A = this chain, B = another copy of it.
Amino acid sequence: MAVYTQVDEEELEKFLLGYDLGSVMSFKGIAEGVENTNYLLHTERGYYILTLYEKRVVAADLPFFIGLMEHLATRGINCPQPVKNRKGNALGELAGRPAMIVTFLEGVWLRRPNVQHCTALGRAMAELHQAGASFKLHRDNALGLAGWKKLAPLATPRADELAPGLAKLILDELAHVERNWPRALLAGVIHADLFPDNVFFLGEKLSGLIDFYFACNDLFAYDIAICLNSWCFEIDGSFNVTKSRALFAGYNSVRKLEQSEVEALPLLARGAALRILLTRTIDWLNVPPGAMVRPKDPLEYLKKLRFHRRIDHARDYGLAA
């Protein structure tokens, strides 16, 4: 939940004078997303999301995100569309923050996705990877391997407060992942944060993808590894191999994974779990006083990481290869 920045009506009206959206009908803070402040904005023209970019989003990256959303939409990927102001810019400033209005995407994110939803997710991810291929801008993954090495020293000094031995596990895992990271897999634009809350459904049909603020250039199979973690474990911590099979099947129906990508999955899944374990541990240990965000549980990802460490081969995820 996240309304870090309050916007008053005078600021809002002044900001909207720059747009052709008519007057405001309603304006409500949304309790979703943990990185930015989001408002649901209803104007005479329709419904929109107004986002104020906080901490982790770097203003210099916004042209990449905006360009990508526009690029994907023209290639049939349903995602929020940046709304341009009268000067032709999607990016503005409001309440001292970079700010953008995007179109409202119908759909509901699923607290409990089922097997069919995982198939739909795999298909949509492969379509995203294909549609992104012709996108010209480039953004390194700030939360890729190089990023984890920077994050580890922020997590380890107090990590054992969360679980005894966690600091050592993080360092061991980082060393292992770095030593074995695949260098020659297919890469391109990935979403890098396709957790269930960023994938909307209308009934059983996937209606769109949101929140491209981690999107970057990285291994396609790493995007899959993120979803193995975030879609295929049950609440009790068990791994649902029917869901991972469905995810792979959906992906393969659009673009068949190469053998090298399949083989890399156990390691990539460890890396993806480590990435979330790192950021959640740091967030957990650094909740500011008076914070309105309850940090997510890092130990969920410690359990997932331990699961992947016991995996020898991608076939254990249900991949036939």
Contact = CB atoms under 8 A, between A and B. Distances in A.
Interface of A: 1-3, 6-10, 23-32, 40, 42, 104, 106-108, 110-112, 200, 202-203, 290-294
**Prevailing SS type, chain A contact patch:** loop
A27 to B, nearest CB: 5
B31 A107 contact: no
A177 to B, nearest CB: 31
A158 to B, nearest CB: 17
Contact of A108 (B2, B26, B200, B291): B26
Contact of A29 (B31, B107, B292): B31
24 contacts: A1-B29, A2-B31, A7-B111, A8-B112, A9-B110, A9-B111, A24-B108, A24-B202, A25-B107, A26-B106, A26-B107, A26-B108, A27-B108, A28-B31, A28-B40, A29-B30, A29-B31, A29-B32, A30-B31, A30-B40, A40-B40, A42-B106, A291-B294, A292-B294
Count of chain copies:
2
Contacts of A292: 1, 292-294
A185 to B, nearest CB: 34
B294 A10 contact: no
A136 B141 CA distance: 64
B111 A23 contact: no
Nearest 7 A/B pairs, CB to CB: A29-B31, A8-B111, A31-B31, A3-B31, A25-B106, A27-B108, A290-B294
A290 B291 CA distance: 9
B1 A3 contact: yes
Contact of A1 (B1, B106, B290): B1
Contacts of A26: 104, 106-108, 200
Contacts of A42: 106
Contacts of A200: 26
Contacts of A294: 290-292
Contacts of A1: 1, 3, 29, 31, 292
